Structure 1
Amino acid sequence: MTPVERSCRPLRQKGIRVLRETTHSPNTGTKCPPLGLESLRVKDPQLRASSYKRRGLGPHRGRLNIQSGIEDGDIYDGAWCAQYEDKKQWLEVDARRPTRFTGVILQGRSSIWSWDFILTYKVQFSNDTLVWQPAMNGTKEAVFEGNQDTETPVLALFNESATVARYIRINPQSWYENGTICLRAEVLGCTLPDPNNIYAWQQTEQGTKDKLDFRHHNYKEMRKLMKSVTEACPDITHIYSIGKSHMGLKMYVMEISDHPGKHELGEPEFRYVAGMHGNEALGRELLLNLMQYICQEYKLGNQRIVRLVKETRIHLLPSMNPDGYEMAFKKGSELAGWALGRYSYQGIDMNHNFADLNKVMWDAIEFDFQNNDKSKLINHYIPIPEYYTSEDAFVALETRAVINWMQNIPFVLSANLHGGELVVTYPFDRTEDWAPHDDTPTPDNSFFRWLATVYASTNQVMSNPDRRPCHNENFQRYNNIINGANWHTVQGSMNDFSYLHTNCFDVTVELSCDKFPHASELPIEWENNKESLLIYMEQVHRGLKGVIRDKDTEAGIADAIIKVDDIDHHIRSVADGDYWRLLNPGEYEVTVSAEGYNPSTRMCRVMYEHYPTICDFRLTKTPKQRLKEILAKGGKLPKDLQLRLRQLRLRKLRASTKAINSRPVPGKRPPTSPPTAARFSANEESCAAVGKMHSTCSKNIGKMYFSKFIV
């Protein structure tokens, strides 16, 4: 028998009917939406309580899915908890307008130290807080079933003839026997029309003017929407799949470009990734909104969007974890809880599932430091360890698909969209000494801070100085950006892997306090993030770009290393020789090197404008490389090299002839010709006998020439 059943037995024996949980889907459109306790649309002053133990357990903490810190006892505990243990305690919500209340969702206390939740409760309504009307079940006062654990949300819907009121109270009647009165809640209700404009001062956030599909899309609906975008804008869009999930769902990507399907010389590649955690659904919907918006605005001739499409190849992956999302979607936006759908079907947290290249790099640095040798130190394109690529490695199929995607496309900039907080984090995400948190910057720390600031400062909620913290940390004191490792250490993050294994810079955006906001909140969330999503993409054009070519052939040089002085992180050119180096404004000394070429250094200045500085390089082959290429082609030397060799032979011939014919000085041994000269003379005579510059002779003479004077 569960705790709830034990608690309900005495009530049922007295003839009191206890209402059980009612199923509910947020996407049916038939039920009223949440008032917004979880999303913070309901402000702290709208919450009151009969009593509370301390400030950290006050009524403002009685919000669905609110999270506590590691330690209890601070101002960020994980529930409202009453000071007294009796049936007179209540949590009150002021809707601030006449509202038809339709249901309540209840949850226990968030804590790793305490186990507190409500077993049964009653509900009352009022218009003035003086006279209260109980929720009824026929002719009797209704008693609702609460929770059986601390995390699973439980929904109770009221009768069809729901009461219209301004205030609602949740009145606990029984609670877990080893705990106390603590709860987190969400209230469902439909705000009534205000024809007389009496509550104009109570108006909340406005929606959006954009005509987009604002609802939650499961796998089939997402695929259908993406297809409709390509049909509306076939010239600039292309859908492709990077792989399949464990359950066989394809991981679709929307490509947006003026020439979709191919990489264009000098055009940077950008990506957004959402849904790494399947229950963090806002990023998924924002990317679906974004692809619709770009298509619509491009057709309307919006110059900003047209420029972005023509100058950038954009890739949008709405769902990295489609299996996890489907689990959360079936439960519903309010009933999925804090963790359902977070992990892959195999139970893998993909934000900890990428190869830990931080350790590889730091171990190499430590080894080179101990041996006082930095000549072989690698600070970029760090290879993946063999153990990670084995079949036995515990790596999700989805993670492998994304890694292959990263390796196949030369991405320059990316953002990983998450939910559950309001902050932008930047690498490194892992601390070097395994501390729980510690500032661990990359060599490109200043530019990463710029990227994070660009998104956070243009996000309408993050930039609001009056907003309250989501859960247990106030990121406003950091201007809503933070080094990932300084927040909490994450081993095997996608951001760190992207920075150390590819050319791509990646940040994490925590989009909202609510991981899975109700569909009614999506228009507001789109407006909160629209400008941030656009301006962040435009940052891919900040810094340097150019093409590295062979000076003789003008062919692009792949895998050339681009080194910026005083920044200990290099990048490489891609297949066609083009490169992009993200940098803040300033003047930089840039050195480019490639195998078989002489290094080249030049000064490049990055301006403040939103376009990159062109900084091309033309490299000359080393003599050794030229000889290798000549010999590889059968030993046919170019005419200029033949002339140089002929002149050298004649000079050597004269010197050797003079030495042989010179008369010996009495008392001294006659000088002998150098062995090298003799060899040249002998080869020359044999070649002269042939009467032409035979390829074999040319090859042998060339070998001796380069081995003595060049190699």
Structure 2
Amino acid sequence: MRTLLFLLLFLLLLLLAPSWTLDFRYHSNREMEQYLLRVNASHPDITHLYSIGRSVRGQQLWVLALGVTPHRHTVGIPEFKYVANMHGNEVLGRVLLLHLIDDLVRSFNNNETWAVRLLHSVRIHILPTMNPDGFDSSNTDCVYSQGRYNANGVDLNRNFPDAFAGLKRQQEPTRAVMSWLQSETFVLSANLHGGALVASYPYDNSNGGQELVGGASVTPDDDVFVHLAKVYSFNHASMHRGDECQEGRPFQGGVTNGYHWYPLAGGMQDYNYVWAQCLDVTLEVSCCKFPPAAELPALWSENRKALLAFIQQVHLGVKGRVLDGSGTPVQNAVVEVRGRRNMCPFRTDRHGEYYRLLLPGKYSFTVTYLGHEVLTETLSVPHGPDDYSAMRHDFLLRRVAVTTGAAPQNATSSICNQTPQEPACGGAAGHTVAARITALSLLVALRWLID
């Protein structure tokens, strides 16, 4: 008994004072899982590990959340996410996100000001691999596509519902991400790819409507998307030059509209924006899809500043709550900005919150909610990222004297009602998995100690 207690005490001390380091190499899916479990066990105050679902072959899609309240949403704290490796053979993103996790937890524990301010002001979710099955079957070729698809031979970045091309049958990881977007109100995100060096922004697709302008498919928030893409590009060591991969035509400033580069139906970034109110950018972070392991330290150095600067942009614009006539926060109030007519209007979440990423300037907001007068207010929005907070503003509604029906609202396209058919991949299922992780972390650490 005494030996067992000694072993447990030693293990606890080991977990509380981690001396391990994350090396620069390509970790297997099992090694990645063990690393995430170990980080979660060692830093329970700022990390929360959960699964949003499984791959075709049953591998968990692990997400590590980082923040001072990592287990749950806090009103006023925006949700951010990074996703990598949705194409199984585009692998640098896996490495970058693992080292980003390592950097964040170490810097926070060392009380570095930037890390403390960041993790106090945003909850960061990191999904290092969306396609673990594809990674298992990939080779190390720089160009060709072995391992690109999932175990069913499907390109996951062509598998999401498309506002211009309609619905299709979703794969397990796609459904998992769609359900994930329902369970959290993400404000900003990026997905990491390889094979080019450019930041690409929505839309990826078009049907030749008013969104098609000069060969680009332009969103109502195009100015914000261009800014977001340039934040990454110009904080990257060389992406902003626009011609590092010698692709034939340079990307001006290292950014591009997705459709202008090449049309893509069923892409994840368009789905994030149209259906989830989350501004998402695609980051092509390496000319070679599977860079030699010897280049990984330099590639991390080239991307580190950009990865952190992009997260900080979650503090652009304005945020707050919509309150009804009795002062209670309300869900599904429509919050619109004049001149930005989104396909699916931005609505308040279950906490009554709204987040609108906007560049500094003066904007007219219109807020509508059933049984209340339409509210219009003009706000002067400052630049928030440097202060780690967007402008805060609550909208207080007034009840109409006699309710004759719904408050006037913009016509909503039928596409806004299209939701995942199988939401069981995330949500409560994910929390059930998360509840078991403390025990799993202990077992993994014990096995690591014994090995």
Question: How does the TM-score come out when normalised to structure 2?
Answer: 0.80
For the structure 1 residues 417 and 627, does the alpha-carbon distance in structure 2 shift closer, same or farther, using more than 3 Å as the test?
closer
**1:266 equivalent in structure 2:** 76
In 1, are the aligned partners of 2:366 and 2:375 still within 8 Å (CA)?
yes
Q: Say whether 1:513 aligns with 2:287.
A: yes
> Equivalents in 1 of 2:291, 2:226: separation in Å?
28
Q: Say whether 1:305 aligns with 2:115.
A: yes
**1:450 equivalent in structure 2:** 227
The match for 1:620 among 398, 410, 421 is 398
1:211 offset after TM fit, Å?
5.9
| Helix, strand or coil at the partner of 2:239 | coil
**1:190 equivalent in structure 2:** none
Higher mean alpha-carbon deviation, 565-574 vs 439-448, is at 565-574
The aligned length equals: 379
What amino acid does structure 2 have at the position aligned with 1:214?
F
The match for 2:190 among 406, 410, 415 is 415
> Equivalents in 1 of 2:243, 2:268: separation in Å?
29
The match for 2:380 among 595, 601, 605 is 605
1:213 offset after TM fit, Å?
2.4
What amino acid does structure 2 have at the position aligned with 1:473?
G
* Unmatched segments (≥5 aa) in structure 2: 1-19, 407-451
The match for 2:126 among 313, 316, 320 is 316
For the structure 1 residues 523 and 211, does the alpha-carbon distance in structure 2 shift closer, same or farther, using more than 3 Å as the test?
farther
1:289 offset after TM fit, Å?
0.7
1:522 offset after TM fit, Å?
1.0
Higher mean alpha-carbon deviation, 542-551 vs 616-625, is at 616-625
> Equivalents in 2 of 1:624, 1:256: separation in Å?
47
> Equivalents in 2 of 1:276, 1:426: separation in Å?
17
What amino acid does structure 2 have at the position aligned with 1:397?
E
Residue-by-residue CA offset, 1:412-445 (whole Å, 9 max, x unaligned): 001010000000110000132499x931110110
1:248 offset after TM fit, Å?
0.4
**1:439 equivalent in structure 2:** 216
Residue-by-residue CA offset, 1:588-634 (whole Å, 9 max, x unaligned): 11111112221211111111342311121111222345999xxxxxx
The match for 1:459 among 232, 236, 239 is 236
> Equivalents in 2 of 1:409, 1:302: separation in Å?
28
> Equivalents in 1 of 2:244, 2:23: separation in Å?
30
> Equivalents in 2 of 1:343, 1:452: separation in Å?
26
> Equivalents in 1 of 2:143, 2:203: separation in Å?
29
For the structure 1 residues 321 and 588, does the alpha-carbon distance in structure 2 shift closer, same or farther, using more than 3 Å as the test?
same
In 2, are the aligned partners of 1:327 and 1:340 still within 8 Å (CA)?
yes
Residue-by-residue CA offset, 1:320-360 (whole Å, 9 max, x unaligned): 011001111xx4x35x8620110011010111110111346
> Equivalents in 2 of 1:593, 1:496: separation in Å?
25
> Equivalents in 1 of 2:215, 2:178: separation in Å?
27
Q: Say whether 1:482 aligns with 2:256.
A: yes
The match for 2:311 among 529, 537, 549 is 537
| Helix, strand or coil at the partner of 1:533 | helix
Residue-by-residue CA offset, 1:68-90 (whole Å, 9 max, x unaligned): xxxxxxxxxxxxxxxxxxxxxxx
The match for 1:349 among 144, 155, 158 is 155
What amino acid does structure 2 have at the position aligned with 1:266?
G
1:275 offset after TM fit, Å?
0.6
In 2, are the aligned partners of 1:421 and 1:471 still within 8 Å (CA)?
no
**2:338 equivalent in structure 1:** 565
- Which one scores higher on RCO, CA 8 angstroms, separation ≥ 6? 2
> Equivalents in 1 of 2:39, 2:68: separation in Å?
15
**1:257 equivalent in structure 2:** 67
**2:10 equivalent in structure 1:** none
> Equivalents in 2 of 1:469, 1:527: separation in Å?
16
Residue-by-residue CA offset, 1:492-531 (whole Å, 9 max, x unaligned): 1111111111110001000010111122111111100001
**2:91 equivalent in structure 1:** 281
What amino acid does structure 2 have at the position aligned with 1:250?
Q
What amino acid does structure 1 have at the position aligned with 2:328?
A
Residue-by-residue CA offset, 1:609-668 (whole Å, 9 max, x unaligned): 42311121111222345999xxxxxxxxxxxxxxxxxxxxxxxxxxxxxxxxxxxxxxxx
What amino acid does structure 2 have at the position aligned with 1:243?
G
1:22-33 pair list within 5 angstroms: none
The match for 2:52 among 208, 230, 242 is 242
Percentage identity across aligned positions? 38
**2:268 equivalent in structure 1:** 494
In 2, are the aligned partners of 1:280 and 1:516 still within 8 Å (CA)?
yes
Residue-by-residue CA offset, 1:465-511 (whole Å, 9 max, x unaligned): 4x8542533334x1110100000000011111111111100010000
> Equivalents in 1 of 2:26, 2:181: separation in Å?
28
CA RMSD of aligned residues (A): 2.1
| Helix, strand or coil at the partner of 1:515 | coil
1:282 offset after TM fit, Å?
0.3
What amino acid does structure 1 have at the position aligned with 2:352?
G
| Helix, strand or coil at the partner of 1:414 | strand
> Equivalents in 2 of 1:583, 1:468: separation in Å?
29
> Equivalents in 2 of 1:424, 1:297: separation in Å?
27
| Helix, strand or coil at the partner of 2:53 | strand
In 2, are the aligned partners of 1:266 and 1:579 still within 8 Å (CA)?
no
Residue-by-residue CA offset, 1:155-189 (whole Å, 9 max, x unaligned): xxxxxxxxxxxxxxxxxxxxxxxxxxxxxxxxxxx
Residue-by-residue CA offset, 1:351-391 (whole Å, 9 max, x unaligned): 1110111346xxxxxxxxxxxxxxxxxxxxxxxxxxx4xxx
> Equivalents in 2 of 1:596, 1:472: separation in Å?
56
> Equivalents in 2 of 1:345, 1:497: separation in Å?
22
**1:547 equivalent in structure 2:** 321
Residue-by-residue CA offset, 1:564-593 (whole Å, 9 max, x unaligned): 111112311111111110001101111111
| Helix, strand or coil at the partner of 1:495 | helix
**2:438 equivalent in structure 1:** none
> Equivalents in 1 of 2:402, 2:45: separation in Å?
48
| Helix, strand or coil at the partner of 2:377 | strand
1:555 offset after TM fit, Å?
1.5
**1:405 equivalent in structure 2:** 180
Residue-by-residue CA offset, 1:237-281 (whole Å, 9 max, x unaligned): 011000000000010000111111111111111000101100000
What amino acid does structure 2 have at the position aligned with 1:571?
F
> Equivalents in 2 of 1:475, 1:244: separation in Å?
38
**2:145 equivalent in structure 1:** 339
> Equivalents in 2 of 1:589, 1:542: separation in Å?
16
1:183-222 pair list within 5 angstroms: 212-222=22-32
> Equivalents in 1 of 2:21, 2:61: separation in Å?
26
> Equivalents in 1 of 2:123, 2:197: separation in Å?
28
**1:697 equivalent in structure 2:** none
| Helix, strand or coil at the partner of 2:33 | helix
> Equivalents in 1 of 2:243, 2:325: separation in Å?
59
> Equivalents in 2 of 1:357, 1:342: separation in Å?
24
> Equivalents in 2 of 1:249, 1:596: separation in Å?
47
**1:139 equivalent in structure 2:** none
> Equivalents in 2 of 1:312, 1:444: separation in Å?
22
In 2, are the aligned partners of 1:272 and 1:316 still within 8 Å (CA)?
yes
What amino acid does structure 2 have at the position aligned with 1:618?
L
For the structure 1 residues 468 and 490, does the alpha-carbon distance in structure 2 shift closer, same or farther, using more than 3 Å as the test?
closer
> Equivalents in 1 of 2:405, 2:299: separation in Å?
62
